[in-house]
């Protein structure tokens, strides 16, 4: 059985030799860079985040530059990364830091956690990596490491189990004033979960806790942590309109709440006849061409999408509000478009322009 008093020292020793040291947001105490990476890494793999992170820093090199940018620019750059509320909170948080904190991030976990889009674990990560604070994190990777190493039973997303894991995580923190040790420990938890103690096939042979890990000793790697209780995922259906006017496509801005909120997407309707009416209202032919249907799965439901292609006849309707736009396909990158919609448009681009 693992002893709490040597967990942190063994993890720190492992991280310094075998951990990750060359990620773009490492080897810095810049709170802006660290915060940006932590928000992007929420529920997203490192390999996916790296190119987005680089583009964001190139476009918004400081928190003030991000705060001053139009939200549409932020959403366009975020498009494809998913969980779009993160982008809106990212922008709001940047504005709070820039305008209410004079461009400097707070240094304590409690103050950081009050900022938009920053929860307890993210606040601890920023405080630890940027300021060397003695604070624990508890993201998905860490929950998996602790559940396996200490044999924690139950689904980690359940409030009772999560509270117990917070207490366990706090009890494991290194009792040291050395900021580098605190940082190495926090990074070590992330690295162990991301590189060895992975969800599918953990590499127990190379794990520093292999001899005492409950899951490894008892052969329960697949059972720990406990899976989320299964429930039926409902299915919804929508019809999407790809309405073409020359080399441009009609886009509508999504409402500020709900799926893909604040992004530019294709007009939708509840059925084909309603979609034809939408096309007609924008100067399009009501006769629409059927495209290949596809599905997209969100956290809580699956969306079946029936796309239809139409063309304007004569002069298209003039757009007099900021919620609709004729977007040139050649400049679609300038708009924040949801990943599945962008995939549909990319597949059609060759035949449309």
Identify whether 170 is a catalytic site residue: no
The answer to whether 264 and 337 are in contact (CB under 8 A) is yes
The answer to whether 130 and 34 are in contact (CB under 8 A) is yes
Give the chain's length.
353
Catalytic residue among 38, 181, 306, 311: 38
Query: What does the alpha-carbon distance between residue 138 and residue 245 come to, in Å, rounded to a whole number?
Result: 50
CA separation (Å) from 229 to 82, 206, 220, 296? 24, 31, 18, 22
CA separation (Å) from 95 to 57, 64, 92, 147? 16, 7, 5, 37
Query: What does the alpha-carbon distance between residue 38 and residue 33 come to, in Å, rounded to a whole number?
Result: 9
In sequence order, the β-bridge partners of residue 244 are 249, 311
- φ/ψ (deg, to 5) at 135: -140, 145
- Note every long-range contact of 324-329, with CB atoms under 8 Å and residues 24 or more positions apart, other chains counting: 324/250, 324/251, 324/252, 324/253, 324/282, 325/250, 325/251, 325/264, 326/245, 326/248, 326/249, 326/250, 326/251, 327/248, 327/249, 327/250, 327/251, 327/264, 328/247, 328/248, 329/247, 329/248, 329/249, 329/353
What residues are annotated to the active site? 38
């Amino acid at each position: 059985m693992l002893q709490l008093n040597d967990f942190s020292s063994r993890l720190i020793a492992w991280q310094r030799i075998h951990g990750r040291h060359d990620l773009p947001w490492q080897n810095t105490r810049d709170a802006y860079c660290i915060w940006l990476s932590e928000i992007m890494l929420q529920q997203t793999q490192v390999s996916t985040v790296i190119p987005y992170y680089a583009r964001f820093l190139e476009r918004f090199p400081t928190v003030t530059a991000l705060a001053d940018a139009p939200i549409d620019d932020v959403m366009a750059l975020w498009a494809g990364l998913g969980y779009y509320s993160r982008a809106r909170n990212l922008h709001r948080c940047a504005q709070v830091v820039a305008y209410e904190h004079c461009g400097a991030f707070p240094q304590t976990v409690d103050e950081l956690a009050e900022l938009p889009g920053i929860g307890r674990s993210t606040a601890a990560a920023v405080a630890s990596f940027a300021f060397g604070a003695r604070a624990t994190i508890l993201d998905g990777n860490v929950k998996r490491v602790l559940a396996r190493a200490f044999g924690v039973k139950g689904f980690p997303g359940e409030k009772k189990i999560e509270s117990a894991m917070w207490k366990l995580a706090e009890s494991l923190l290194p009792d040291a004033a050395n900021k580098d040790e605190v940082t190495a420990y926090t990074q070590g938890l992330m690295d162990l979960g991301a590189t060895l103690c992975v969800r599918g096939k953990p590499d127990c042979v190379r794990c520093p806790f292999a001899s005492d890990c409950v899951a490894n000793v008892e052969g329960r790697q697949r059972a720990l942590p406990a899976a989320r209780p299964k429930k039926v995922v409902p299915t919804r259906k929508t019809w999407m309109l790809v309405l073409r006017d020359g080399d441009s496509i009609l886009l509508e801005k999504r409402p500020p709440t709900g799926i893909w909120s604040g992004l530019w997407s294709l007009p939708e309707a509840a059925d084909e006849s309603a979609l034809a009416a939408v096309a007609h209202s924008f100067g399009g032919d009501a006769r629409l061409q059927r495209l290949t249907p596809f599905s997209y799965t969100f956290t809580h439901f699956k969306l079946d999408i029936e796309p239809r292609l139409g063309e304007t006849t004569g002069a298209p309707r003039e757009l007099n509000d900021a919620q609709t736009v004729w977007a040139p396909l050649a400049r679609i990158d300038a708009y924040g478009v949801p990943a599945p919609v962008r995939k549909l448009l990319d597949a059609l681009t060759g035949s449309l322009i």
